[in-house]
Structure 1
Amino acid sequence: MTEEMILSIGRQALVTALLVAGPVLVLGLLAGLVVSLLQATTQLTDQTLAFIPKIVVVMLSVLLFGPWMLRTMLDFTGRVIGLLPSVVR
C-alpha cells in the first residue's frame, strides 16, 4: 500500500462524509435561520421553539435523502473493500 493510495482513500472518505452529511446539515441550518428570524421579529424567546422545527426538518431530510445517503456510503465501502486484495499482498 503506497502513500498515494492511503491519501486517496482518506480524501475519498472525507468527500463521502461531507456529501452524506451535507444535505441534512444545510437543511438544519436553514431551519435554524428561519426560526431565529421568526424569533427576532416576534421577540419570542422560547427555547423549544428553536429546537422542535430543526429536529423535524432533520428527521424529514434523513427520510428524504436516506436512500441516496445509504447508496453513497455503500459505494464508498464497496470501493474500499475492492482495494483490499491490493493491500493484502
Structure 2
Amino acid sequence: MGADVALTLVSRMLWMSMLIMAPLLLLVMVVGILVSIFQVVTQIQEMSLSFVPKLITVVVVLQVFGPWMLRSLVNYAAQLINSIPQYL
C-alpha cells in the first residue's frame, strides 16, 4: 500500500466522520446560540439553562438521525472491508 492510498483512506474516513456528525453538531450549535441569546437578553446566568437544552437536543437528534448515522457507518465499514484485497 502506497502513501497515496493511505491518504485516500484517511481522507474518506475523515469525510465520513464529518458527514455523520454534522447534524448533531449543527443542531447543538444552533441550540447553544439560541440559549446564549436568551441568557443575554434576560440576564439569567444559570449554568443548567445552557446545559439541559443541549442535552435534550442531543437525545432528540440521536433518536431522529441515529438510524441513518448507523446505516452510513455500517455501509462505509462494509465497503472498506470489501476493498481490503485491492490494497494488498
Name the TM tier (shorter chain): over 0.9
- What is the CA–CA distance in structure 2 between the aligned matches of 1:34 and 1:64, rounded to whole Å? 21
Normalized against structure 1, the TM-score is what? 0.92
Structure 2 residue ranges without an equivalent (≥5): none
Q: What residue ranges of structure 1 are gaps of 5+ in the alignment?
A: none
Q: Distance in 2 between matches of 1:47 and 1:79?
A: 44
Shift of 1:80: 1.1
Letter in 1 for 2:17: A
The Cα of 1:6 is off from its aligned counterpart by: 1.1
Q: Which residue of 2 aligns with 1:55?
A: 55
In 2, Cα distance between equivalents of 1:36 and 1:5: 44
Aligned residues: 88
Consecutive aligned runs of 4 or more in structure 1 exceeding 3 Å deviation: none
Identity across matched positions, percent: 31
Report whether the alignment pairs 1:31 with 2:37: no
**Partner of 2:15: helix, strand, or coil?**
helix
Matched letter for residue 59 of structure 1:
V
Q: CA RMSD in A?
A: 1.0
Kindly provide the amino acid, as one letter, of the partner of residue 11 in structure 1.
Answer: S
Q: Distance in 2 between matches of 1:10 and 1:82?
A: 16
The Cα of 1:69 is off from its aligned counterpart by 0.4
